[in-house]
A and B are shown apart, each in its own frame.
Chain A
């Protein structure tokens, strides 16, 4: 006789527990307010340094971001002679005054990058904006300097996309030891070595270098010791006319959305670009031309657009 109420209670509680996941608030991946600085430099002072497609890369990425919801008032696209360090400082200040902690900030650069060995034996990476005087202090932006610049923006959600040589060196080493070596040449992925390093790193006093994961998720076109390339055509004769990294980045809205939610995240973009470069470029070329994109470690994944 008493089992009836008990059974009803049991069924009610079970139904309530089963329905909890559906009662929770709906998921909306919209990143909300977003800002972007998009720079591309193909034309440098020395004609020998000229690139072919970097300015077009920036224009195309600017167009992509606008069509994917970045308002023009929040989008700073500059190419060649406009893409100077002075303008970058000014654009960053403009965004820093408007952005909120919940805003998304994206910095994109296409152009030259290098890695230099300093006197203390450490390697530092640079990207090169347009520099009318052409000295390192004017046009070059060191990894730690870029970190300081984007740190001025109060947003907690920042992404840095770099289509330049040696750009993997901008990625902070902690957390996540990359099993991909900085000079990947096809098949050198050593998980055991990386696991040993990760164990040691956990107990070490890690110095935050480059751009740490707490500052921004960096997706770099290649490793810190790799050159990256622009191309006229791919291996099957299809026109590219962009930096390879940017070419596949531009394809992400229609090809990289693996969970079909209509939004592209940093991991989806990274995975797609890396996969395409491996399939359509690395497979057909000598080891000196091989490169692979890199991404920051850390627990976060951010919606890009």
Chain B
């Protein structure tokens, strides 16, 4: 019952949105990244990382806010010279704000943004949990599809992690996702 009530509430909110110049969208995306880490006294090493993210987007004509929930997994580094950095996995959340470069209607829309994240991770092969926040910046490209409600989003993020167990940790990568817009304003139908 609770789930149904929430769905009804969501439907009411979404149906009310056309009265205001905003869109509400959801996206599911997959992100691949290279994480670069360093502990004091040791060298930089790279780790491959993947994440799956569910995003809620609230978009105005010149801005958008997004809230992200995701799962992440980062592999261990190589063991060159007898040591490496551990892999880890966990859950994360981000709040982001984004701005399109241009508001003109086009099948391609680009923009940039930034935000802040919170990560709960577990070192692989252990039960040891740790927390760290992050800040990120990104550029994105939205490609329109034949459906006015659906677009493909490419996103190139750079993220800096404030990990207390490492001196330096940051990542860059590429994300691809499908965005479904619940509300489609008449002025944006040609997008």
Contacts and interface: CB of A to CB of B under 8 A. Distances in A.
Interface of A: 25, 27-32, 101-102, 104, 156-157, 174-180, 189, 191, 194-195, 197-199, 201-202, 206, 213, 261, 263, 265, 267, 270-271, 295, 297-303
Given A178-B128, A271-B125, A195 B82 contact: no
B41 A189 contact: no
A29 B80 contact: yes
B127 A179 contact: yes
Given A195-B120, A299-B166, A31 B129 contact: no
Interface residues of B, number: 31
A303 B79 contact: yes
B81 A297 contact: no
Nearest to B124: A267
B56 interface: no
Given A176-B130, A178-B128, A195-B129, A263 B79 contact: yes
Contacts of B152: none
Contacts of B20: none
Contacts of A195: 120, 129, 131
B123 interface: yes
Interface string B112-126: 000000001011111
B39 A189 contact: no
Contacts of B128: 175-179, 295, 297
A157 B43 CA distance: 13
B42 interface: yes
Nearest to B126: A295
A30 B82 CA distance: 5
A187 to B, nearest CB: 12
Contacts of A102: 81
A225 B132 CA distance: 29
Contacts of B78: 27, 29
A267 B130 contact: no
B86 interface: yes
Interface in B26-46: 37, 39, 41-42
B85 A157 contact: no
B84 to A, nearest CB: 5
B83 A297 contact: no
Given A156-B41, A178-B128, A297 B82 contact: no
A255 B67 CA distance: 45
Given A197-B129, A261-B79, A299-B163, 19 more contacts: A29-B81, A30-B82, A31-B82, A156-B41, A175-B128, A175-B165, A176-B130, A179-B127, A191-B122, A194-B127, A195-B120, A195-B129, A202-B130, A202-B133, A263-B79, A295-B128, A299-B123, A300-B42, A301-B83
A297 B130 contact: yes
B166 A101 contact: no
Given A202-B164, A265-B79, A301 B85 contact: yes
Given A295-B126, A297-B123, A175 B164 contact: yes
15 contacts: A27-B80, A28-B80, A31-B81, A31-B83, A176-B126, A176-B130, A177-B128, A189-B127, A195-B129, A202-B130, A263-B79, A267-B126, A270-B126, A300-B86, A301-B84
Contacts of B185: none
A94 B130 CA distance: 37
B86 A299 contact: yes
Contacts of A25: 80
A179 B79 contact: no
